[in-house]
Structure 1
Amino acid sequence: MTIRIENLSVTFDGFQALKSVSIAVGKGESFGLVGESGSGKSTLLRAVAGLAPVSGGTIEVSGERLSGGRRSRAFRRAVQMVFQDPYASLHPRQTVDRQLLEPLAIHRIGDGERRILKALDEVGLGPSFRFRYPHQLSGGQRQRVAIARALIVEPEILLLDEPTSALDASVQAEVLNLLEEVRGRHGLTYVMVSHDLGVVTHMCGRLAVMKGGEVVETLSAADLAGSRVVSDYTRRLMVASKGFSREAVSG
């Protein structure tokens, strides 16, 4: 397994945001985390990234047992995160070029010119975007830059925190299809947070349904699409998720 999480707990100021959560994600797999707002799915991603205070349990990534919030330079290159809001995740006063150079400098990776052009091309943006500022880009273009910034250090794992929920419906499918193409091209492992069951069945082979900081059910996307679920909570999510189907996001 690329990611193995066992009995993970996270506590913020006395509030237990995660309660003994266990999941396992295989190499090259796309794994979804779904649930209502406040269910703990984003907290789980942040715990893996070292951005949430772990109070119990273990996190193992590619055979390495992680401790507290400390992450090695090798981990931070191998595991990249794409956040929900492309308007907040890019520095408003830095050009695209500068924002793509920064991770290369942090990880002491050379050949910046070639890597920047390659990363932009990979996310469907040409070289003309290099010297634009975020306010000159659409929401979808900003999220493509954020994805390029994650890809430029050649990671093995992408943690995707609602990567399309802040985008217009018309561009959500484009970004999702881009992510799917990138994963296939590079054999990446994805862990994707979403409240949208249509997105998860489009992108992920398996998923964990979360409620109140706990995993209530782990199942395949095929079982979800076929309504072969165990938990009543999962059934309620399906009813609440309008347009729940792969086709809803594949246009």
Structure 2
Amino acid sequence: MTVVLSAKDIVVDFDGYLALDRVSIEVAKGESFGLVGESGSGKSTLLRAIAGLNHFEEGALMVDGRTYSRKSRDKSFYRDVQMVFQDPYGSLHPRQTVDAILLEPLVIHGVDNKEARIARALDEVGLGTGFRFRYSHQLSGGQRQRIAIARALILEPKILLLDEPTSALDASIQAEILNLLEQARKDRNLTFVMVSHDLGVISHMCDRLAVMKSGKIVESMDVHQLETREFSADYTRQLMVASEGFRRD
């Protein structure tokens, strides 16, 4: 397999609290890789450390053959790696139109054909150009998350980091967003790293996954092993039981 993303022995320390304790993952080109675990296990912290939103104290990060230090990221990194956040209400600027939100990354990176790219991005996420001059408060939660995905895709990245992209949405909208993401991955040969507390979402979207607890990876497996319950860690078993909810006898 061609490894496009490698994080090795990543350590993130928040004023003495070890949020990530020597975490390592490898993700192949075109693969969808899942991170699961309870709240506070370090899933989102790892995603943010990869994206450059958190510094890491120790470890090494490789993206598409280039190595990055704990602080340095060049402009090409931010074209290759984009992130979609959990909260579609908080991740869009409330005083910018959709047009301005999508235009900003194109201006920052000096990309040509701005009009065509904006139109394509909106079309790809199932919104027409009629949404270009609306503000985020005029959109539903699902529409806002589509705009956030369009903003991430507009630079044509190689890797998409997805931090619980559907957890803030109604159940009826979640499937639409997940199908949209899966189609974009196939069309663009994207690589996904997806954080979710929902094992059903991970099972549907991902090829392999890592189970995290207290800032460490306790187990790695492919989705088939998850579905057939071929896992060894008790914690993974507890997560599976919790995700299935309560059942009456």
Partner residue in 2 for 1:59: 61
1:6 CA displacement: 1.2
% identical aligned pairs: 65
Partner secondary structure for residue 96 of structure 2: coil
Q: How many residues align?
A: 243
Aligned pairs for 1:35-184 within 5 A: 35-184=37-186
| Counterpart residue type for residue 23 of structure 2 | V
**1: CA distance, partners of 2:224 / 2:140:** 34
> What TM-score does the superposition give when structure 1 sets the normalisation length?
0.96
Write the deviation string for residues 108-133 of structure 1: whole angstroms up to 9, x where unpaired. 00111111000000000011101111
Partner residue in 1 for 2:223: 221
**1: CA distance, partners of 2:180 / 2:165:** 12
Write the deviation string for residues 13-46 of structure 1: whole angstroms up to 9, x where unpaired. 1111000111100000000000000000000001
| Counterpart residue type for residue 22 of structure 1 | S
**1: CA distance, partners of 2:107 / 2:117:** 12
Whether the 8 Å CA contact 1:8–1:58 is kept in 2: the answer is: yes
| Counterpart residue type for residue 39 of structure 1 | S
| Counterpart residue type for residue 69 of structure 1 | K
**2: CA distance, partners of 1:46 / 1:140:** 23
1:10 and 2:9 are equivalent in the alignment: no
Whether the 8 Å CA contact 1:51–1:69 is kept in 2: the answer is: no
1:69 CA displacement: 2.2
Partner residue in 2 for 1:23: 25
RMSD across aligned positions (CA)? 0.8
Q: Which runs of 5+ in 1 are unaligned?
A: 244-251
Partner secondary structure for residue 143 of structure 2: helix
Partner secondary structure for residue 61 of structure 2: strand
1:175 CA displacement: 0.1
Q: 1:205 aligned to 207, 210, 219, which one?
A: 207
Partner secondary structure for residue 120 of structure 1: helix
Whether the 8 Å CA contact 2:92–2:101 is kept in 1: the answer is: yes
User: Runs in 1 of length 4+ with deviation above 6 angstroms?
Assistant: none
Write the deviation string for residues 48-79 of structure 1: whole angstroms up to 9, x where unpaired. 11111211111111111111222110000010
**2: CA distance, partners of 1:47 / 1:64:** 16
Whether the 8 Å CA contact 1:96–1:131 is kept in 2: the answer is: yes
Whether the 8 Å CA contact 1:12–1:53 is kept in 2: the answer is: no
Q: Which runs of 5+ in 2 are unaligned?
A: none
1:174 CA displacement: 0.4
Whether the 8 Å CA contact 2:83–2:162 is kept in 1: the answer is: yes
| Counterpart residue type for residue 101 of structure 1 | L
Write the deviation string for residues 123-175 of structure 1: whole angstroms up to 9, x where unpaired. 00011101111011100000000000011111000000000001111100100
**2: CA distance, partners of 1:145 / 1:69:** 29
